[in-house]
Amino acid sequence: MALAFRVGLRSLARKLQVRSYADAPSGEEMALTFAAGNKVFYDKKVVKQVDVPSMSGAFGILPKHVPTLAVLRPGVVAVTENDGKLTKIFVSSGTVTVNDDSSVQVLAEEAHPLESLDRSAAQEALSKAQSELNSAGNEKAKAEAAIAVEVAEEILKAASG
């Protein structure tokens, strides 16, 4: 019952938003802020589409996406700019926030354009991480090594295209 109520409320909220968007033309645009510890890629720049890999599966964000929060997993963020240019950037971890006003914020711990990834270095990192995973003593070290393996695998996948 409570759930139904919540769902009902949410759909109502969505309807309300839709109306407010119709009034405000800026709602049609999606301002993307994409930053990593090492670099700012986009700063409140209007783009067409963003695809992000999240913990609960990869998803694409277009303008007027329903507001949501998600945690990034290692993978490739693809940004389609207004002129149709596609930029692919690898991220290690981070968060993505889609706000009510259609602004999107992607924060990553580390992010690098695909072209600057080195396949052989990734391969090396992967084997190192795997051996660490096998030799890990406690739970925490194991979890850390597992994350390292995941990141290295994703880099490898991304670098191989």
In Å, what is the CA distance from 98 to each residue of 15, 62, 105, 142, 156? 17, 10, 7, 33, 28
DSSP-assigned letter for residue 65: P
Closest distance to another protein from the beta carbon of 160 (Å): 27
Closest distance to another protein from the beta carbon of 36 (Å): 8
Choose the stretch contacting another protein; rule: CB under 8 A; options: 61-69, 75-83, 130-138, 149-157: 61-69
Closest distance to another protein from the beta carbon of 98 (Å): 8
Q: Could you identify the residue written with the tokens 């301002």?
A: 31
From the list 49, 80, 87, 97, which residue makes contact with another protein (rule: CB under 8 A)? 97
88 and 113 Cβ atoms separated by less than 8 Å: yes
Tokens representing 152? 């290295």
From the list 21, 49, 51, 54, which residue makes contact with another protein (rule: CB under 8 A)? 54
91 and 51 Cβ atoms separated by less than 8 Å: no
From the list 18, 22, 24, 66, which residue makes contact with another protein (rule: CB under 8 A)? 66
| Sites for another protein among residues 9-48 (CB under 8 A) | 9-10, 13-14, 17, 33-40, 43
Q: Which amino acid is at 11?
A: S
